[in-house]
Amino acid sequence: MKNVYREKHNYKLSNEDKKTIAISHFLDRTNENTQRLCEEYQVSRRTIYDIANSELGKNAIEQSITNNKSNFTKKIDILIDRALEKISQKLDNDDLSKTTYKDLAVMIGTLYDKSRLENNLSTSNSSININIKVEK
């Protein structure tokens, strides 16, 4: 069988190949993708599953998720900076003819909340009253 050539001949996959397999399998767990990976790397389905569940595979998946979040956050930061610059220019030029105060309040409130979330701070305040009775 072509897809078990590596296993029968003790031909080892590189760590980079294993990471690629784990991430690809994590992103698309369909039979078609698993079969494609088997054929491309000449391994069995069991090997694909074992790699995806191995410590190396789990670490690769976790790192990929972290990198993607980081890239997403960077792109969002750029967009927010551009939006804030536009708002600032409009405010500086008193060019608010199409912007209501309500729109400005919503923009500022949303940006403020998102900024606090990004810094792991609360976005709402709640109070809790506890009455303690101490007896001797």
* DSSP conformation letters of 45-89: HHHHHHHHHSHHHHHHHHHHHHHHHHHHHHHHHHHHHHHHHHHHH
Where does the pLDDT of residue 118 fall: very low under 50, low under 70, confident under 90, or very high at 90 and above?
Answer: confident
Nearest 10 degrees: CA dihedral of 96, 100, 104, 105?
150
Summarize pLDDT for 70-80 with one digit per residue, the tens.
788 788 888 87
Alpha-carbon gap, residue 90 to 84, rounded angstroms: 10
Summarize pLDDT for 31-57 with one digit per residue, the tens.
999 999 999 999 999 999 999 999 999
This prediction has a pTM of: 0.52
Q: Where in the chain are the domains?
A: 2-53, 72-118
Lowest mean pLDDT among 2-16, 39-53, 111-125: 2-16
In this structure, the chain runs to a length of: 136
Question: In sequence order, what are the residues at sequence separation of 6 or more whose Cβ sits closer than 8 angstroms to the Cβ of residue 2?
Answer: 39, 42
